[in-house]
Amino acid sequence: MNSMNDTGVVAGSASGRTRHTHRLRRLAGTGFIATLAAMAATTLAAALAQTVGVDFQVPDGGETIPLPGFAVVTGFFSVVGIVIAVALLRWSDRPAKRFVWTAVSLTAISLVPPLLSGANTATTTALLGLHLVPATVMIPTLARSLRTRTD
């Protein structure tokens, strides 16, 4: 005489969904706070570089990168990182490891444009460093939020 308790099945299913939703919200919240920290750190580092004489003038177009531009670009790509992290949490069996691999690869690729920009050595070096500042904030923070007991 086997019977199935439908109530238990529904409750277990809803509980799993609630736990998953909680992890997604926690990841998004942590990512948002890390994004603000990365934006502040990058803008501060760019301001410090300007005070020691880096002009951030890129010959391609002859324009100087404005200080708020660093915050905007950092914020945009940090949000892209959060979206990647959320997708991996949703669909990957090893989200933390895959996120670190993906984020480090994308960070390495992001180092190519400053090298090809034709800017002076000080600007190129500063831009390379400014790519690494938000990476050092975002990657470990999001990877920690993605960790599970099996990672």
Can you give the pLDDT at residue 52?
Answer: 97
pTM (predicted TM-score):
0.84
- Write down the H helix ranges in the chain: 6-51, 67-91, 95-110, 112-116, 121-146
Q: Give 20-56 pLDDT, tens digit per residue.
A: 788 899 999 999 999 999 999 999 999 999 999 999 9
DSSP class of residue 94?
S
Is the CB of residue 70 less than 8 Å from the CB of residue 15? Answer: no
